[in-house]
Amino acid sequence: MAKNDSSFKVYKRRIIRIVYGIIEMCFHWLFGLVYGGKGKSMPPITDLLLLESATSIALKIRTKKITSSQVLQSFIDRINEVNPILNCVVAERFEEAKKEAQLVDDLIKSGVIPEEKLAQEKPFLGVPFTTKDCISIKGMLHSSGLVRRQNNIAAEDAKVVASLRNAGAIPIALTNVSELCMWWESANNVHGRSNNPYNTNHIVGGSSGGEGCAQAAAVSAFGIGSDIGGSIRMPSFFNGIFGHKPSPFVVPNHGQYPIPVTEEQNRFLGLGPMCRRAEDLLPLMKIITNQNGVTLRLDDPVDVKKLKWFYQETDTGSVMVSAVAGEIRELFSKIAKHLDKAHGVKATKVSYKRFSKSSPMWFANMKSPNGPKFQEQLANLDGSINPYMELLKWVFRQSEHTFIAIATCLLENGGIKHGDEKYDYLVNERNDLRRELLDLLGDDGVFLYPTHPTAAPYHNEPLIKPFNFSYTAVINVLGLPATHCPMGLDKNGLPIGVQVVSAEGNDRLCLAVARELEKAFGGWVPPAIKV
């Protein structure tokens, strides 16, 4: 009898996946009719400085080959050129940044501090950067895409921002997010919607979507994002850049809004670098981790030939999650062939069935025993919204909230409850999967896994495939570091890539693999260049 029940469940899952696949295909076709074509073209890069890494720019500033003021103006010009099309930058501090850049130029010109000392103490001196509108920069907007916070001004720098300032970097602008950072398309009623630089009819991801877009479009030298369910890695994937979600607690979460409700959520959240060039990941991590960088052994050399390489092409069949696109699955065999040919290394294909429960595991582990609820968060913790009333207002375009935010409120009270039998089961499944992966990885292993099952969907299409974020989200609740690595464009000209995962504390392995894959497959593909 038990065997028959098991067979029926497997059959039922297959039928659901088939039906869902048909529905998804139909809606994708419909969205294609609505958003058909390539959208607006992003202006080509004419200033070749924009193609350089932040590390290279910093070196040229220190050695007086260029000035910080020149660099800053190049990025300001680029923002003014592309932002009317992409809407990735939502607030700027250009005038303040110009004054800070001039101070940098005056300091370097004076020769008071030797170049070697500047390189050691101020490694990103004079380099402009951006961050998302949920990470505080003193004196700037700190709305997190919430209408009730549209006039909120940050009283202090987030600790990551303060660390970057201490390293000489100059914040120049804020980038767009989803409402309260809880969706994987960056659109809200404060700043509107951001558009993908490779095809403006497609999404940039979320919640660090504006930052992913900004880096792909080359509007700053590097950026900082935050990630509790894939919010660094998904936008990095959709926009073809590098992005790293660190090990838990090695980067301070201070200054990120909304504030995690539980210690578990605080552990899942990670602030990390987003950039076009892999060589910037390691030096940026050294800065934003402060003393934790020693714990992470970021200065220890990594020999990719001595790593143990593992990969898994799919989640083994989640219900209501898109199938992994063929071009993305092919990336794993390409990597395996490269490792074999270039280094004589054999990558091992694995299959962990528990990944099929990724979405339920994330939702269960994100549950809080005593709030605040999302409807209170949407009221900026001043009372609570009425989601039913807001839904009615939304129908008539009178709500200050996005549909997905309202829907999240309505769904929050249903499903798994903190501490119930299903909750305990999924927490235990998470713990078992974590043990399995840690046993696999040891201290010298890396695990390659899809960052997302498809390239960037059309605008609003995530509503039809809401659980596709599970490929990144599960890594958060497992408490493992992960780096998204871009690996070119698909047949439609949209970025694709993979994420690299290691055991907790072994971030340096992910970063080393990012450099290896960039060297082998090219990394970020810039938009058109006109010299």
Dihedral (Cα; 352, 353, 356, 362), 10-degree rounding: -60
Residue 417 CA to residue 479 CA, distance in Å, equals 22
Residue with tokens 């695990």: 447
> Is 385 in contact with 375 (CB distance < 8 Å)?
yes
Burial grade of 91 (CB within 10 A; 0-12, 13-18, 19 or more) = middle
DSSP-derived 3-state class of residue 170: strand
Q: Is 6 in the active site?
A: no
Residue 452 CA to residue 325 CA, distance in Å, equals 9
State residue 402 phi and psi, 5-degree precision.
-80, 160
Residue 285 CA to residue 273 CA, distance in Å, equals 7
Residue 197 CA to residue 206 CA, distance in Å, equals 15
Dihedral (Cα; 42, 48, 51, 52), 10-degree rounding: -160
Enter the DSSP assignment of 196.
B
Residue 125 to residues 75, 115, 273, 295, Cα–Cα distance (Å): 16, 11, 17, 25
> Is 156 in contact with 122 (CB distance < 8 Å)?
no
Q: List all residues 6 or more positions away from 439 whose beta carbon is below 8 Å from its beta carbon.
A: none
Q: Is 132 in the active site?
A: yes
Q: Which residue, among 327, 324, 317, 348, has the nearest Cα to 446 in the 3D structure?
A: 348
Q: Is 236 in the active site?
A: no
**What is Dmax (Cα atoms) for the chain?**
84
Q: Which residues of 191-212 are buried (b: 16+ CB within 10 A; e: fewer)?
A: bebbbbbbbbbbbbbbbbbbbb
Q: List all residues 6 or more positions away from 389 whose beta carbon is below 8 Å from its beta carbon.
A: none
Of 68, 231, 322, 358, catalytic: 231
Of 60, 122, 132, 159, catalytic: 132
Q: Long-range contacts of range 282-287, CB-CB < 8 Å, 24 or more positions apart?
A: 282/508, 282/511, 283/55, 283/123, 283/124, 284/54, 284/124, 284/222, 285/244, 285/246, 285/507, 285/511, 287/123, 287/124, 287/163, 287/164, 287/166, 287/167
Residue 333 to residues 17, 437, 443, Cα–Cα distance (Å): 25, 21, 24
Rg (CA), the chain: 22
Enter the DSSP assignment of 416.
-
Instruction: Please give the positions annotated as active site.
Output: 132, 207, 231
